[in-house]
Amino acid sequence: MSGELEGKKVAFLATNGYEDAELSSPWEALEAVGATLTMVSPESGSIKGKNGHQQSVDASPSQVQASDFDALVLPGGVVNADHLRTDDASVAFAKGFFEEHKPVAAICHAPWTLIEAGVVDGRRMTSYHSLKTDLRNAGADWVDEEVVVDHGLVTSRTPADLAAFNAKTVEEIGEGKDQDQTV
């Protein structure tokens, strides 16, 4: 439905090495329903996916805050997620969405940033299978499912899950804040 998310502002947080489809597919899905999208990255200019997709950067995590947006999308990719979880401004930006009870969608390796933000304890989640132990050690209830929604937190495993991930991301953004989406 075109215009379903008209007026909703969504931040994407990524850096070089993201999984191309995990950025481009949700971006296109959200754009198609009228959301206003902003690419946030610790890099300036543009970032490049592991397979060559280029994405222009609109702002750094230190220039924006969760209150500027209605939701956050975290694409995966090992290199991307590993760099973001060591960037204090990126971690603080992601954590802000939980403090404000706003929807967050994370796929593949992206939950590493959420572990670092300290927001996964007690949450039911999925991810790329290699993060299972990391998430469980951080207190999450990890499950091997295509897509999991836990009070505004949407998680998926791999690019094969993008159709379900995109649909649930659109749905959760449309529903808005969830008071149980918190740190």
Residues with a catalytic annotation lie at 108-109
Look at residues 168, 22, 152 and name the one whose alpha carbon lies nearest to residue 97: 152
The torsion region of residue 74 among left (phi > 0), alpha (psi -120 to 50) and beta comes to beta
* Integer Cα distance of 18 and 107 in angstroms: 11
Radius of gyration of the chain (CA): 14
